[in-house]
């Protein structure tokens, strides 16, 4: 992959925001931050186009909540074609962290994540999706 250099004009306030982003995320330079911003934007637009993507769903929950584990498993079984694997971690006596690897159409993964996050007892949930692989970008 070749690198192309180009100039960018920004308002001072926006440049300051970029520099804060560079510092906060410990990017080595502005170019690295801009590359990440562009990649995130491209990924988001791919999700909106409902392309085939891969990702993860991260959940934090209190495992003492009645029927929570059954509810989470039931949802995952309803999406068995999208769920690749799940990893379970014990954070402390009450809390668990679960990371679910997923692959499928962006809309379907969003639906899966929304359903899991909505289960009573889930304290935090987040879906992260990547850009689709080049040979998997066709629409349904």
As a whole number of angstroms, the distance between CA 65 and CA 94 comes to 9
Q: What is the pLDDT of residue 9?
A: 86
Does position 48 have pLDDT exceeding 70, yes or no? Answer: no
Rounded (10°) angle between helices 30-48 and 106-117:
90
**Does position 72 have pLDDT exceeding 60, yes or no?**
yes
- The residue whose two tokens read 């679960």 is 98
State the average pLDDT for the chain. Answer: 86
Q: Which residues pair with 9 in a beta bridge?
A: none
Instruction: Give the pLDDT band (50/70/90) at residue 27.
Output: confident
Q: Give the position of tokens 């995320």.
A: 25
77-134 tens-digit pLDDT? 999 999 999 999 999 999 999 999 999 988 899 999 999 999 988 999 999 988 765 6
């Amino acid at each position: 992959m070749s690198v192309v250099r180009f100039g960018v004009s920004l308002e001072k306030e926006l440049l300051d925001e970029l520099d804060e982003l560079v510092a906060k995320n410990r990017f080595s330079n502005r170019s690295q931050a801009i590359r990440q911003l562009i990649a995130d934007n491209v990924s988001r637009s791919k999700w909106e186009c409902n392309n085939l993507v891969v990702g993860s769903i991260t959940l934090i929950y209190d495992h003492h909540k009645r029927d929570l584990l059954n509810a989470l498993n039931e949802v995952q079984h309803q999406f068995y074609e999208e769920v690749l694997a799940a990893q379970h971690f014990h954070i402390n006596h009450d809390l668990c962290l679960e990371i679910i690897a997923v692959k499928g159409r962006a809309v379907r993964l969003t639906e899966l994540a929304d359903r899991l996050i909505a289960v009573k007892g889930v304290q935090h949930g987040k879906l992260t999706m990547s850009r689709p692989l080049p040979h998997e970008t066709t629409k349904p």
